[in-house]
Homo-oligomer: A and B are copies of this chain.
């Protein structure tokens, strides 16, 4: 996936309505009017959001003239997932460090308990 493609994907995802549309389409394909129903915005506004998502390759639309169902296209999201791969180790390492720190605290606590027990 070239850099510009990824920028287009991220820009398309930078909107809560577009992410809500994707969440709906993840459940199955649907018509534009059905898709628009839960949103408090006009059909033309929904159509504009769909165009952005379609341009980013996040959704595809059927060819039927009357009923052009929208469906999610997971490949662009997989591109985001692949890009994230290089960064995943960063928070995993952070969690590991936190785990080490907690274990250190725990073993220090135990040592102090033993000392106190010996003094009694």
Residues of A within 8 A of B (CB): 3-4, 6-8, 10-11, 13-16, 19, 22-23, 26, 72, 74-75, 77-78, 80-81, 83-84, 86-88, 90-91, 94
Contact = CB atoms under 8 A, between A and B. Distances in A.
Contacts of A22: 87
B4 A10 contact: no
B86 A74 contact: no
Given A75-B91, A77-B91, A78-B91, 8 more contacts: A3-B19, A6-B16, A7-B14, A10-B11, A11-B14, A26-B90, A72-B90, A74-B90
Nearest to A86: B26
A87 B10 contact: no
